[in-house]
Amino acid sequence: MTTLILAAFSTTSAYLFGVIVALVLILISALVANLIAFKPDRSDVKARKVWFWVLDILCPVFTFLISFLVVYIGLKSHNQQDKYMIAMAIASAISFFLYLVLGLIAAKANKNGKIGNWF
């Protein structure tokens, strides 16, 4: 019974890590976008886009890494490890797309602002 509860919690934790990482990275991306000053030659737009997309690529990497280091290493059963590995992969994909969706919503909401340059 305890093993079943631990396995259920561990797969849920992978998804929670994915959501948290996506939220934290979108906030960091917004902070970076606002820290980049406007320039007359519009090179600031490219810098904001690059930062947004780099953090988007890092989002599933961080999700997978945090899930691996926090939970996966502590799992003893190969069956639990297999289930959690699948959950980590799904959570990584979810974090990638959640970051994109949140970024798109933020960019559309701030069309004339610095965040509107992400896409």
pLDDT, residue 2, reads 52
Average predicted confidence (pLDDT) for the chain:
89
Return all residues near 77 (Cβ < 8 A) that are at least 6 apart. 3
Q: Does residue 107 carry a pLDDT above 90?
A: yes
Q: Residue 106 is encoded by which pair of tokens?
A: 């933020």
Return all residues near 14 (Cβ < 8 A) that are at least 6 apart. 63, 67, 71, 84, 87, 88, 90, 91
Which tens digit of pLDDT belongs to each residue from 5-56?
Answer: 555 567 888 999 999 999 999 999 999 999 988 888 888 889 999 999 999 9
Domain ranges of the chain: 2-117
